Structure 1
């Protein structure tokens, strides 16, 4: 029995093109000299208690002083390969390739890679001296610009050496079709432990299954199609109407098209952020202390999520002013973000659910008042709009959806992908992913993860995507953009600090 891609997986697989690749990932900064979580939280709280000011606006990490800190043996390439190889049994799709079916008679299938080579997927890279933030971000930009090799399992991992103070970075890149669903985890989540002790799984003696031939896949697809008359007989025997199933399929498709049309009639503001994308990416990160954001939230009786959105509003306002000085009062940028960020039943917890790559969750669309000059007023408007639109059925979104998921035949995937991109273009300007709870301390091969950034997918007709990860008492922002539209992306890291400080300094 073949393991066929789900309709959503197939949609993301076929959405890949030369100008848009649907992969995501994570950047983990490893510090072999890093302190345990409790000590680190204590020291950071002491440093930010008075001012709440950010330690850094970029990926740089200055290790805490102290010779008595625990030191893990430095992770190297062989140890990383052994760790990943041991954990792949938790994510079997990472040893499988996607096989398309002749003439699009059915959705593609997952099959074992008979030539699986883990050393192809895990690569070693290094930064030239001085190994600074700009060089790291430039390397990540180039890696994320390249499409994945479709003849192999759709993921890559890089061990990046040459960071100051003996630190390392692990960069992961995974196709979006691999991580859809609650049980499907991104590879960065699989290799991380909650303690410094590495828990190795029982040895997995994996052997690839025999790959099905092209004719076998085609016959299997035809057999599935020919099984429909049997469904008809079964429906008649049991008193069910096949017409009801057909009607349900048609109504489902109409609802999806109707939802898209509804969002188009209330479309996002015209913006270069919706310009056609190229294949070249740029990447940047920034960080602000969560303690300072919590102070702002307490002062203005809002949530930390509101403060995060207000910071992004300030960032986008500054970028628009640098791009076009004619920003007017009332101008907005439309973002889509997880509904869980506004759900009162979802509370931030000290314990983490272990996920920092969250996809496929219910979302809603809201507006950021970038035309408002006063940061306090801007924060109040952000909170009010988000509260209102989270309750509006017109603003709810399940994210990109296949137009006809009930149909297994995909004879014209390129045409369908173009139609999807055209319909989905103006729903919003920028996707924003933010977690609903802090991520607890993590370790890779016994080395402390000092910083963690989730790298979002940059879909077609989007020039910017943003993620925010709550890790080690910091809110860590990651930006990925189309270099052709946002060549000045590194400036956004400074805008994050400026937006945070103006909110912190307002009375």
Structure 2
């Protein structure tokens, strides 16, 4: 971090998420699996060199989050002088039979495994049955949210979106500078006091208020461990959008209709009948960002969504239920407003206790909304294809 540059400080939502992740069984992470078509041979060292060149222009990827002395404000991201790309980029062979379920098992292990200090990892997976190579990318949520993750991929793929590389490593900001920056931020916070209660009411309304209706007990509320299993269901975006728009709904509304309906059928097979499922949905406060403005900026809505009846009718009801809450969640973030409370509860062990006994939601559904096509991501994959094809 150079002396004249901006301090890369964690946002209130970042710090709250960090505390909540530490209090739970796992930190909150985001991941992606990209399928590549290599040449006859594959050398991770060549691709690592390419990634190293790109990463020079995305400072956050070579930084670690550090706490600051008392009076210095929230934690800051600083250049890690011991950054070693070999800790972040690795290669493994997919276990037999090398099909999609086997690849997803590898992805689940990476997503729940340890992360390097910079809180991200990229794993190349060879040995797939169709000859392809997979690239699994995992980010700790405190590094970037879903929109931020797309910005990182765009910055890696598009030179026009990359800031100019800076000298590395830059010295961390001094304590006097941190204290001055924290003091300025506290002054700004005083100016926001008059809107705090209004924003707090908005954020609470988006999550159903302080005393929501008790949710139905069912097997979805059983405690979970650290093991994760992934599965893929494929459908075309165009027909899904067409159906949603025909009924005056969004793609997200259609996804929620499909997911709650599928969970309802699963519960029925278990002999359980639940007329409504309480679903938590993250709502981004921004449509886009850059690799220089990462972190988390989102609110959360919670709503009891119907599970019975004609799917089109259910989708219309879901749209009506969520219309107001989406706007409320995008306007005010509970993590931003009540971050100190979350951190206190986490430090006392009460947040972990709450997670194990909570009766507020049945499940969480998150969808990272992207454009119809993602040329930057396509270009990134094309670059990797070209590099792989050149390795013979």
Q: TM-score, normalization: structure 2?
A: 0.74
Q: 1:175 to 1:434 in 2, by over 3 A?
A: closer
More strand by share: 1
- 1:98-497 matches, cutoff 5 A: 98-102=65-69, 106-149=73-116, 152-180=117-145, 185=150, 187-192=152-157, 204=165, 206-211=167-172, 217=175, 245=191, 247-248=193-194, 251=197, 255=201, 258-259=204-205, 262-267=208-213, 269-270=215-216, 271-293=218-240, 296-297=243-244, 304-322=251-269, 324-328=270-274, 330-336=275-281, 338=283, 360-361=297-298, 364-370=301-307, 372=308, 377-392=310-325, 396=329, 398=332, 401-404=335-338, 414-415=346-347, 418-419=350-351, 422=354, 426=360, 429-435=363-369, 437-440=371-374, 442-443=378-379, 444=381, 446-447=383-384
Which whole-Å CA distance do the structure 2 matches of 1:108 and 1:277 have between them? 30
Which whole-Å CA distance do the structure 2 matches of 1:181 and 1:129 have between them? 31
SS of residue in 2 equivalent to 1:317: helix
Question: Equivalent residue for 2:50?
Answer: 83
Report if the CA contact (8 A) 1:27-1:170 is conserved: yes
Deviation at 1:120, TM superposition (A): 0.9
Point out the structure with max Rg over C-alpha: 1
Which whole-Å CA distance do the structure 2 matches of 1:77 and 1:382 have between them? 46
Which whole-Å CA distance do the structure 2 matches of 1:185 and 1:393 have between them? 21
SS of residue in 1 equivalent to 2:336: coil
More helix by share: 2
Report if the CA contact (8 A) 2:203-2:334 is conserved: no
Deviation at 1:420, TM superposition (A): 9.5
Deviation at 1:251, TM superposition (A): 3.7
Deviation at 1:176, TM superposition (A): 1.2
SS of residue in 2 equivalent to 1:97: strand
1:23 aligns to 2:48 (yes or no) = no
Which whole-Å CA distance do the structure 1 matches of 2:72 and 2:345 have between them? 11
Q: What value does the CA root-mean-square deviation take over the aligned residues?
A: 4.6
Unaligned runs of 5+ in 1: 33-71, 232-241, 341-345, 347-351, 450-507
Q: TM-score, normalization: structure 1?
A: 0.59
Report if the CA contact (8 A) 1:113-1:208 is conserved: yes
Aligned length: 370
Report if the CA contact (8 A) 1:157-1:173 is conserved: yes
Deviation at 1:303, TM superposition (A): 5.2
Deviation at 1:386, TM superposition (A): 1.5
- 1:22-41 matches, cutoff 5 A: 22-32=28-38
Question: Equivalent residue for 2:389?
Answer: none
Q: 1:9 to 1:338 in 2, by over 3 A?
A: closer
Which whole-Å CA distance do the structure 2 matches of 1:223 and 1:113 have between them? 23
Which whole-Å CA distance do the structure 1 matches of 2:101 and 2:136 have between them? 15
Unaligned runs of 5+ in 2: 387-392
Which whole-Å CA distance do the structure 1 matches of 2:268 and 2:99 have between them? 28
